[in-house]
Amino acid sequence: MSHSNFQTIIAKFFDGYDLEKSLKQNSIYLCRNDGILLYTCTGKKMAPSLDDVSIGALLGGVWQAAEALASFIPTKAMSDRNPPVYRLSFDDSSQGVYILPITHQAQKYYLSLSYAQEINPGQLKANFRKLGEDLNKFLDKKKMANIVTDKKDNLLFNNITDEEMDSLFNFAGN
pLDDT in tens, 66-83: 989 988 888 765 555 666
Between the alpha carbon of residue 40 and those of residues 14, 46, 75, 168, the distances in Å are: 10, 12, 35, 55
Domain region containing 106: 6-150
Q: At what angle do helices 3-15 and 121-153 cross, to 10 degrees?
A: 130
On whether residue 167 sits in a domain, the answer given is no
CATH code for position 49: 3.30.450.30
Q: What is the mean pLDDT of residues 35-41?
A: 89
* Total structural domains within the chain: 1
Lowest model confidence (mean pLDDT) among 1-10, 39-48, 100-109, 156-165: 156-165
pLDDT band at 60, cuts 50/70/90?
Answer: very high
Q: Are 60 and 35 in contact (CB under 8 A)?
A: yes
Please check the confidence at residue 16 and state whether its pLDDT lies above 70.
yes
In the chain, where does DSSP find H-type helix?
Answer: 3-15, 19-23, 52-70, 77-81, 121-153, 162-169
Q: What is the pLDDT of residue 159?
A: 64
Span 119-134, pLDDT tens digits: 999 999 999 999 999 9
On whether residue 165 sits in a domain, the answer given is no
Q: What is the pLDDT of residue 5?
A: 82
pLDDT band at 23, cuts 50/70/90?
Answer: confident
On whether residue 121 sits in a domain, the answer given is yes
Other residues' Cβ atoms within 10 Å of the Cβ of residue 40: 16
On whether residue 89 sits in a domain, the answer given is yes
- Angle at the Cα of 11 from the Cα atoms of 8 and 15, rounded to 5 degrees: 140
On whether residue 136 sits in a domain, the answer given is yes
On whether residue 1 sits in a domain, the answer given is no
Burial class from Cβ neighbours inside 10 Å (0-12, 13-18, 19+) for residue 29 reads buried
Q: What is the pLDDT of residue 126?
A: 93
On whether residue 170 sits in a domain, the answer given is no
Stated length of the chain: 174
On whether residue 173 sits in a domain, the answer given is no
Q: What is the pLDDT of residue 45?
A: 58
Q: Are 68 and 84 in contact (CB under 8 A)?
A: no
Round to whole Å and give the CA distance between 117 and 115: 7
Round to whole Å and give the CA distance between 171 and 115: 73
pLDDT band at 169, cuts 50/70/90?
Answer: low
Distance of CA 70 to the CA centre of its chain: 22
Q: What is the mean pLDDT of residues 144-158?
A: 52
